[in-house]
C-alpha cells in the first residue's frame, strides 16, 4: 500500500537532520520506526532507537550523526529489531558484548606472556631472562600479542613455529615451543582458558639439520681469527666483546650483562653476581692485563651507560648473543665458530696444557660432576686462575703477532 503524504513527511532524511538547529533544551526529530535523532544544545546529534520489550520501553544509542550515516543507523535499527523480535534485549546484548570484549582485552597473549615472564624471571639468570624477552618481543608477541588467549588455536602455533624453522632458526623454535607451553599452562591454571593449545607441538617439529654443538675452530686457526677480528668493521662493542670472550672464557650472556660496577680495575677482577650466573652463585673472573686494556678503551664508548657491552642500537639494553654470532659469520666463520664456542676452544687448550682441572672448571664457572665434592669444594683458585689466564692471554698476543708459539705448560 502506498505511503500517505504524512508518512512520507515523517521519514528521516539527511536534509532534515542537517537542517535541525540546536535549541535551549534537547529535542528529538520525528521517529522512523523507532529510529530518531536527538539534537542537543551544543549542536551534537545522536542516534537513538526506541523499542518495547516485555511491556517496557527502552532506548538504544546508535552513535552520533554524521559519523554514523542515516543508512548505517537504519541497518543498526533493523539488527536491533530482529533481536527484540527474538525476545533479546539489544541493550543487554550490547553490555554483554562489551564485557566480553573487555575480558578478551584483559586476557590477550601479550598480557599473559608478561605475567608468566614476571613470575618466572626471578629464577633465571639475567642472560636467560633477556633471551626469553628477546624471542617474546621478536617472534611471539608480533604474531600473537593482541589475540585473546581463548581464541588461539594449535594450528596458529604450529604455523608460527614453522616460520621459525623455515628460516633455519631451529633452536629458537625449540625454545619458543617450551615457552608457549608454559605461558598457556600458566593461563590454564588461572582459569583463563580451558585447554592448552601448546601441548604436543613437538610432534609437528621439523627435524633440525645435524650440526656441531657450539662450533669452534681448532687452535691452529686462532691466529687467522684474531687477525679477522682486527678487520671487523662493525660496532667496537661487538669486536671488543668477542676479544673479551677469548680472554676470559665467560659465557656470552654473562659478558653481555657485564656492568661497569662489576669491574674492580685495581684488583683486576670482574665480579658477576649470583642472579646473573647460570648456576645461581657468584663468580669472580680474574682479568689479564689485555682484558683491562680493552675495558679501559670501552670507557670512551659505553662509560656513561650501565652496561659495558650495551647494544649498539639500543644503549639501555645489552646486545644479543645473535649480534656476536652474526659478526663471526660476517668474518667468514658461519657454522665454524660461535660466541659460546670460545669456551670449548679455551677449555680444550687449557686442558692440553696440563692445567689443573679444578682451575679450568672454576674459570668456566662449572659445577663439579661429583655433587657431594662440589658442595664442599668452595675454593676459588683465584691466584692460580689469574696466572693461567694471563699465560693464555700472552699466548694469544703472540699468535696475533704471528710469532711462533710454544704452548706454556702448567708447572
The one catalytic residue in 81, 121, 278, 353 is 278
Whether 230 and 260 share a structural domain:
yes
This model's pTM is above 0.85: no
**Is 278 considered catalytic here?**
yes
Q: What is the pLDDT of residue 405?
A: 58
**Is 343 considered catalytic here?**
yes
Whether 230 and 94 share a structural domain:
no
Q: Is 228 exposed, middle or buried (0-12, 13-18, 19+ CB in 10 A)?
A: middle
Cβ(36)–Cβ(12) below 8 Å: yes
Q: Which residues of 267-287 are buried (b: 16+ CB within 10 A; e: fewer)?
A: ebebebbeebbbeeeebbbbb
Backbone angle region of 381, left / alpha / beta, with phi > 0 → left and psi within -120 to 50 → alpha = left
Within a domain: 127 = yes
Q: What is the pLDDT of residue 131?
A: 81
Whether 55 and 92 share a structural domain:
yes
Residue 80 lies in domain: 5-102
Within a domain: 332 = yes
Whether 360 and 246 share a structural domain:
yes
Whether 240 and 266 share a structural domain:
yes
**Is 213 considered catalytic here?**
no
Residues 6+ apart with CB under 8 A from 332: 228
How many whole angstroms separate alpha carbon 125 and alpha carbon 106?
29
C-alpha cell at 407: 704452548
Residues 6+ apart with CB under 8 A from 321: 127, 131, 252, 253, 256, 339, 340
- Give me the residues paired with residue 28 across strands: 38
Question: In total, how many domains does the chain have?
Answer: 3
Query: CA nearest 288: which of 326, 236, 248?
Result: 248
The helix (run of H) or strand (run of E) holding residue 40 is none
Residues 6+ apart with CB under 8 A from 357: 351
**CATH number of the domain where residue 340 is located:** 1.10.443.10
Q: What is the pLDDT of residue 276?
A: 79
The one catalytic residue in 48, 177, 216, 251 is 251
Whether 179 and 87 share a structural domain:
no
**Is 251 considered catalytic here?**
yes
The one catalytic residue in 5, 210, 220, 376 is 376
Backbone angle region of 87, left / alpha / beta, with phi > 0 → left and psi within -120 to 50 → alpha = left
pLDDT one digit per residue (tens) for the chain, 411 residues: 344 443 344 589 999 999 999 999 999 999 999 999 999 999 999 999 999 998 899 999 999 999 999 999 999 999 999 999 999 998 888 887 887 776 666 789 999 999 999 999 888 877 788 888 888 988 899 999 889 999 999 999 999 999 988 887 888 889 999 999 999 999 999 998 999 999 999 998 888 776 556 789 999 999 999 999 999 999 999 999 999 999 999 999 999 999 999 999 999 999 998 887 877 788 999 999 999 999 999 999 999 999 999 888 888 888 888 899 999 999 999 989 999 999 999 999 999 999 999 999 999 998 644 443 343 345 689 999 999 999 999 999 999 887 765 655 555
Query: Dihedrals φ, ψ of 41, to 5°?
Result: -55, -30
Residues 6+ apart with CB under 8 A from 265: 292, 295, 296
Q: What is the pLDDT of residue 208?
A: 76
The one catalytic residue in 174, 344, 366, 400 is 366
Whether 259 and 394 share a structural domain:
yes
**Is 366 considered catalytic here?**
yes
Q: What is the pLDDT of residue 130?
A: 82
Whether 43 and 94 share a structural domain:
yes
The one catalytic residue in 77, 239, 343, 386 is 343
**Is 344 considered catalytic here?**
no
Amino acid at each position: 500500500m502506498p505511503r500517505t503524504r504524512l508518512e512520507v513527511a515523517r521519514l528521516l532524511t539527511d536534509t532534515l537532520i542537517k537542517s535541525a538547529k540546536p535549541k535551549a533544551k534537547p529535542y528529538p526529530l520525528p521517529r522512523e520506526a523507532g529510529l530518531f535523532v536527538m539534537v542537543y544544545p551544543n549542536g551534537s546529534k545522536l542516534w537513538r532507537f526506541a523499542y518495547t520489550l516485555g511491556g517496557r520501553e527502552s532506548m538504544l544509542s546508535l552513535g552520533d550523526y554524521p559519523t554514523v550515516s542515516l543508512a548505517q543507523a537504519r541497518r543498526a535499527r533493523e539488527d536491533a529489531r530482529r533481536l527484540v523480535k527474538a525476545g533479546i534485549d539489544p541493550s543487554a546484548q550490547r553490555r554483554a558484548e562489551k564485557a566480553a570484549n573487555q575480558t578478551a582485552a584483559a586476557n590477550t597473549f601479550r598480557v599473559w606472556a608478561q605475567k608468566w615472564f614476571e613470575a618466572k624471571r626471578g629464577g633465571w639468570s639475567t642472560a636467560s631472562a633477556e633471551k626469553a624477552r628477546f624471542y617474546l618481543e621478536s617472534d611471539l608477541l608480533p604474531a600473537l600479542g593482541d589475540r585473546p588467549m581463548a581464541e588461539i588455536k594449535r594450528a596458529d602455533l604450529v604455523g608460527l613455529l614453522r616460520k621459525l624453522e623455515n628460516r633455519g632458526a631451529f633452536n629458537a623454535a625449540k625454545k619458543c615451543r617450551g615457552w608457549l607451553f608454559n605461558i598457556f599452562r600458566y593461563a590454564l591454571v588461572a582459569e583463563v582458558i580451558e585447554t592448552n593449545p601448546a601441548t604436543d607441538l613437538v610432534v609437528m617439529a621439523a627435524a633440525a639439520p645435524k650440526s656441531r654443538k657450539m662450533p669452534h675452530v681448532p687452535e691452529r686457526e686462532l691466529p687467522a681469527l684474531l687477525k679477522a677480528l682486527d678487520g671487523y668493521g662493525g660496532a667496537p662493542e661487538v669486536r671488543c666483546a668477542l676479544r673479551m670472550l677469548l680472554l676470559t672464557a665467560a659465557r656470552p650472556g654473562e659478558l653481555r650483562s657485564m656492568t661497569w660496577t662489576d669491574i674492580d680495575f685495581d684488583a683486576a677482577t670482574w665480579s658477576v653476581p649470583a642472579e646473573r650466573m647460570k648456576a645461581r652463585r657468584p663468580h669472580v673472573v680474574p682479568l689479564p692485563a689485555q682484558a683491562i686494556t680493552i675495558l679501559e678503551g670501552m670507557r670512551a664508548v659505553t662509560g656513561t651507560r650501565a652496561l659495558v657491552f650495551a647494544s649498539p642500537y639500543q644503549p639501555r639494553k645489552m646486545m644479543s648473543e645473535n649480534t656476536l654470532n652474526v659478526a663471526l659469520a660476517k668474518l667468514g666463520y658461519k657454522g665454524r665458530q660461535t660466541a659460546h664456542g670460545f669456551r670449548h676452544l679455551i677449555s680444550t687448550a687449557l686442558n692440553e696444557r696440563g692445567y689443573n682441572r679444578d682451575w679450568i672448571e672454576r674459570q668456566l664457572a662449572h659445577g663439579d660432576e661429583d655433587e657431594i665434592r662440589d658442595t664442599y669444594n668452595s675454593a676459588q683458585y683465584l691466584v692460580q686462575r689469574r696466572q693461567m689466564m694471563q699465560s693464555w692471554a700472552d699466548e694469544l698476543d703472540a699468535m696475533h703477532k704471528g710469532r711462533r708459539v710454544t704452548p706454556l705448560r702448567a708447572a
